[in-house]
Chain A
């Protein structure tokens, strides 16, 4: 009972056959070859599998592939197509990652936040990142990096 779906993945239209119970995370990684969304818990607890679905963060381990038919998905592979974004640059500058496994989810959660709120406060950053676990850092450099992007943006205005 396969179903043909079409998604716009990182600005590229892709059509593929999926089973009704195929999890989006697995389809992205195995069928579409996009490996930046990570498998951390498969239960929606860690945020490592985060992608942007029509610009909003979702956990792909909780979504069926058939649900995203006709929608737009952005992963880090798409986000970094024309070089590092300001939030990526800031995260690098603040030594925000250690093992880096949480990085894809963090980057996308931060991207979504900065899209709606160009200069977020510390609390707003915490709110936005509260679903992304990191086992290595103390989160502080992540907060600092995202707040710093906002400050820069604020100045430019």
Chain B
């Protein structure tokens, strides 16, 4: 019996799923997908048994430490390690001259030296690795390394970097690159507009602040160099390490330990590469390395601070006609993934709104600040704060309700976004309606207990292109296998950083093959065992790896059906696998268990293993216009609404109520989806109200949680989540993804509420009490 089909998208999704599914008799309610099964790794987390990188240490191992630059910008004249080497307990001191590979790394452009030889470009640059019997000795040895520098002028602002006579941070100059988008004739349309608003919004430097500090170990036995460090894309890290240290790829094995958060912060390579150098030099020894909190903050890349000049034009009735946007992006010292984040900004310049004429320019500028790269929301966070901020200013100028203005301009299915890509399944309106209803927008009350307390309401709507897009090869692979003990093993290099990937994968396999969740054994993230599954970023794992897993599981199931059909002497298309047993649907008395299937399969020489590859193509954006018919595989939509209370005497902002709606296609595990939404909103509240890496003369002034303030349990209200499930034809069981959108939609909603409360926009983030108070006091 087929279930009734409510709408066209669902019918399409069903068709798609059916093509992945293998039995003619597969219908009826889902048993595992869509259920909030407990995390498979939850018990060990609650009992403290989980082994993170720092838990792999032992006193009998050797310990490494890294020497960092003493100047943000300087030439290196000489590195003298002789005194350090003499210190008892020191086993090795490694500098650039010991590196036999290219000594270069970087995710998109390899522009960063592993151990600097001629020049340092920020205070986190590494010059030497000391290995010693204890960490204390290694730290002492660092102090004995003498480095002679010739300091160069520090370039700390984009203005200074762009001056014609500015010293060059990289030989090619101080501009990393540019991105341009040209859709229609924005300047002409702007001239015709009835109303124009214009503003500059400045976002800040933000740290990932995952709690689990960079830590891990490595060992080289002469044949294989094994590195146990948390990353976000093991296969790419392996490639970069191989090139940098000059060891063939086949001799490197990367294993992911349990990982305490990542949020993009483990995307750029970190301690892996120093550990590899040390292990290679000290064959047969296990080397450990960990960062302190301050070293972690000083060394690691950050979220790009962006200055966004935004001009938005509309007709009298609020219909948007033109947008002109320029993004100035502080890249810090190295390229990292910056060019991709910049492209994310241009391709999302007007978010979920229909704007016929858009010109956007993005320029990435090198400075001697911390390099900036991936962080959850990747270029789209800053952009959403800008376009939603301008929508609010426009509503004020038009004297129009800000919800009405948004509703009027949201794209519908079949409309195009900034890149010109038509979105077949645009659900921004549906998300927005849901949050407006929940917060009771029409009846919102501004009454407060005292005149100095002002209430405000904010809304936001966002769309987000999932995956890498832009024609970049984007693929996930997975393998499924039935073992002799009747377990379905699933192999993937997707990484569980805490988001719950392990369940996403296991639940899909259980559902697809027809086995209970306990019969699935996920084996994740070990380059020796698991196939390449792309990066754990870009909200792509559910969509890409989930699909690869579903394909592999479906293929395995077909093989198991063959085995059952042969053994039971039945027709293969009448074989059902349910609850871990295979039988003919019309004669369910005779059944084969998974163990029996494995035995029979082996006896008959049938395959018990299958591979799934998912690689949907995208089309590169035109370099001059940024237009592409398929810039991203699919788009995600979400909308938030919130209520804040501002104390106008102190500038303090309290988020009183928060509602978040996201269309996730299908929640493979609803509790985990809600966890992602609440966690993303919490990071969003952190970003707009308190978090800021304060840089002075290239130095981080708050490299720890005493002064880099993170949201605590007191800062976060209850976050009411609305999960919509409009299936996506390309995702597993219709699932789209949810990692980044909650953080992207949060910032603009809170900023919108503050503006509503105090009657003025905040232009510089974060909206700390001081800044809010100053804005209120300014005449």
Within 8 A of A (CB), among B176-234: 209-213
Would you call B710 and A133 a contact (CB within 8 A)? Answer: yes
A137-154: CB near B (< 8 Å → 1, else 0) gives 111111100000000000
Cβ–Cβ < 8 Å partners of B674 in chain A: 95
Cα-based distance from A101 to B713 in the complex (angstroms): 16
CB neighbours of A99 from chain B (8 A) = 45, 210-212, 258-261, 497-498
A112 touches B (CB below 8 Å)? no
Apart from the given pairs A95-B675, A100-B260, 20 other A-B contacts in the complex at a CB distance below 8 Å: A30-B59, A35-B51, A38-B54, A43-B704, A45-B705, A84-B47, A92-B46, A97-B45, A98-B261, A99-B210, A99-B258, A101-B52, A104-B48, A133-B712, A135-B211, A135-B261, A135-B683, A137-B675, A138-B716, A141-B678
- In the assembled complex, which residues on chain B have CB atoms less than 8 Å from the CB atom of A31? 59
Residue B693 interfacial (CB < 8 Å):
no
- How many Å from the CB of B51 to the closest CB on chain A? 7
Say yes or no: is B679 at the interface (Cβ < 8 Å to chain A). Answer: yes
Q: What are the 8 A-B residue pairs with the smallest beta carbon separation, nearest first?
A: A99-B498, A36-B48, A100-B45, A138-B678, A101-B260, A76-B48, A45-B705, A98-B498
> Given contacts A36-B48, A97-B46, A139-B682, are A46 and B705 in contact (CB under 8 A)?
yes
Q: Indicate if the CB atoms of A38 and B212 lie closer than 8 Å.
A: yes
The minimal Cβ–Cβ distance linking A114 to chain B, given in whole angstroms, is: 15
A88 to B706, alpha carbons, bound, how many Å?
29
Chain A residues whose CB sits within 8 angstroms of the CB of B213 once the complex forms? 39-40
| Residues from chain B with Cβ under 8 Å of A140 in the complex | 678, 716, 718-719
Asked whether any CB of chain A lies closer than 8 Å to the CB of B696, the reply is no
The residues of A that contact B500 with a CB separation of less than 8 Å are 98
Please report the total number of B residues contacting A with Cβ < 8 Å: 55
Cβ 8 A contact of B293, one of A38, A40, A76, A92 = A40
Least CB distance, A133 to chain B, in whole angstroms: 6
Q: Within the assembled complex, what's the spacing in Å between the Cα atoms of A139 and B719?
A: 10
A41 contacts chain B at the CB level, 8 A cutoff: yes
**Residue in contact with B46 in the complex, picked from A48, A88, A98, A132, CB distance below 8 Å:** A88
| CB-contact partner of A141 in B43, B675, B714, under 8 A | B675
Most chain B Cβ neighbours within 10 Å, of A43, A101, A141 = A101
CA distance A99 to B497 in the complex (A): 6
| B44: A residues at CB distance < 8 A | 100
Q: Chain B 35-58, CB within 8 Å of chain A: the 1/0 string?
A: 010110111111111111011010
Contacts of B724-773 to chain A: CB distance below 8 A: none
Q: Is A16 an interface residue (CB 8 A)?
A: no
Q: A54 contacts the other chain (Cβ, under 8 Å)?
A: no
Given contacts A45-B705, A99-B497, contact A93 B38 (CB under 8 A): yes
CB neighbours of A46 from chain B (8 A): 211, 705
Say yes or no: is B536 at the interface (Cβ < 8 Å to chain A): no
Closest to A142 in B: B713
Residues of B within 8 A of A56 (CB): none
Q: Once the chains bind, are B293 and A143 in contact (CB under 8 Å)?
A: no
The 8 Å CB contact of B48, one of A77, A135, A141, is A77
Which residue in chain B gives the minimum CB-CB distance to A97? B45
Interface status of A58 (Cβ within 8 A of chain B): no
Residue pair B45, A39 in contact (C-beta under 8 Å): no
Residue B671 at the A interface, CB < 8 A?
Answer: yes
Set of chain A residues within 8 Å of B259, measured between Cβ atoms = 99
A88 CA / B678 CA spacing, docked (Å): 21
Choose among B55, B209, B292 the residue that contacts A135 (Cβ–Cβ < 8 A).
B209
Give A77 to B311 CA distance when docked, in angstroms.
58
Chain B residues close to A by CB (< 8 Å):
36, 38-39, 41-52, 54-55, 57, 59, 209-213, 258-261, 263, 290, 292-293, 497-500, 671-672, 674-675, 678-679, 681-683, 704-706, 710, 712-714, 716, 718-719
**Complex contacts, B47 vs chain A, CB 8 Å:** 36, 76, 80, 84, 88
Chain A: CB-nearest residue to B39? A95
B39 adjacent to A38 (CB under 8 Å) = no
Given contacts A42-B292, A92-B46, A100-B258, contact A133 B211 (CB under 8 A): yes
Are A92's CB and B713's CB within 8 A?
no
A103 proximity list for chain B (CB < 8 A): 45-46, 48
CB distance from A84 to the nearest CB of B (A): 7
The chain A residue with its CB closest to the CB of B208 is A135
Main secondary structure, interface of B, reads loop
Give the chain A neighbours of B675 by CB distance below 8 A.
Answer: 95, 98, 136-138, 141
Whether the pair A98, B57 counts as a contact (CB closer than 8 A) is: no
CB pair B713–A139 under 8 Å, yes or no, is yes
Contact B52 A38 (CB under 8 A): yes
The CA of A72 and the CA of B290, in the complex, are separated in Å by: 29
Task: Name 20 A/B residue pairs within 8 A (Cβ), A-sorted.
Answer: A35-B48, A38-B52, A40-B213, A43-B706, A45-B705, A46-B705, A84-B46, A97-B45, A98-B675, A99-B210, A99-B498, A101-B210, A107-B48, A133-B211, A133-B712, A135-B209, A135-B261, A135-B683, A138-B678, A139-B712
Q: A99-B260, A99-B498, A101-B52 are in contact. Are A143 and B713 (CB under 8 A)?
A: yes
Q: Does A130 contact B (CB under 8 A)?
A: yes
Q: Which of A11-66 contact B (CB under 8 A)?
A: 30-31, 35-36, 38-43, 45-46, 48
State A48–B261 Cα separation when bound (angstroms).
Answer: 14
Point out the residue from A98, A133, A142 that lies within 8 Å of B705, measured CB to CB.
A133
* Contact status B45-A41, CB under 8 Å: no
The answer to whether B719 touches A138, judged by C-beta atoms less than 8 angstroms apart, is yes
Instruction: Select from chain A the residue with minimum beta-carbon distance to B671.
Output: A95
| CB-defined contacts of A131 to chain B, threshold 8 Å | 712
A135 in contact with B210 (CB, 8 Å): yes
A30 touching B57, Cβ below 8 Å: yes
User: Which of chain A's residues have a CB closer than 8 A to the CB of B55?
Assistant: 35
Q: Which residues of A contact B712 (CB under 8 A)?
A: 130-131, 133, 139
Most buried by A among B47, B292, B500, B714: B47
Nearest Cβ distance between residue B140 and chain A, in whole angstroms? 14
CA distance A142 to B49 in the complex (A): 19
Interface residues of A in 62-112 (CB under 8 A from B): 75-77, 80, 84, 88, 91-93, 95, 97-104, 107
Contact indicator A138/B292 (Cβ below 8 Å): no
CB distance from A98 to the nearest CB of B (A): 4
Q: How far is the CA of A140 from the CA of B679 in the complex (A)?
A: 9
Residue among B46, B293, B497, B706 with the most chain A CB within 10 A?
B46
A129 is an interface residue with CB less than 8 A from chain B: yes
- From A48, A75, A132, A133, name the one whose CB has the most chain B CB atoms within 10 angstroms: A133
- Contact assessment for B260 and A41 in the assembled complex, using a CB-CB cutoff below 8 Å: no
Task: Enumerate chain A residues within 8 angstroms of B263, measured Cβ to Cβ.
Answer: 135
Choose from B38, B209, B498 the contact partner of A100 (Cβ within 8 Å): B498
B38 touches A92 (CB 8 A): yes
Judge whether B54 and A39 touch: CB under 8 Å: yes
Residues of B within 8 A of A43 (CB): 293, 704-706
Option from B38, B48, B209 in Cβ contact (under 8 Å) with A95: B38
Measured CA separation A154–B682 after assembly (Å): 31
Report Cα–Cα, A141/B42, bound state, in Å. Answer: 14
CB-CB under 8 A from A42, the residues of chain B are: 292-293
Closest-CB distance, A70 to chain B (whole angstroms)? 25
With a cutoff of 8 Å between Cβ atoms, the chain A residues found around residue B209 in the complex are: 135
User: Residues of B contacting A98 with CB < 8 Å?
Assistant: 261, 498-500, 675, 679
Query: Closest CB-CB distance, A55 to chain B, in whole Å?
Result: 18
Which of A35, A88, A91, A140 has the most C-beta atoms of chain B within 10 angstroms of its own C-beta? A140
B36, closest chain A residue (CB): A95
- B716's partner among A75, A77, A139 (CB-CB below 8 A) is A139
A42-B293, A92-B42, A130-B714 known; A80-B706 Cβ under 8 A: no
Are B706 and A95 neighbours in the complex by a CB distance under 8 Å? no
- Contact yes or no, A48 B211, CB < 8 A: yes
Give the residues in chain B near A100, CB-CB below 8 Å.
41-42, 44-46, 50, 258, 260, 498
Residues in chain A near residue B46, CB distance under 8 A: 84, 88, 91-92, 97, 100, 103, 107
- Evaluate contact between B678 and A97: CB separation under 8 angstroms: no
Structural contact, A138 and B682, CB atoms closer than 8 A: yes
Quick one: which of B55, B211, B213, B705 has the most chain A CB within 10 A?
A: B211
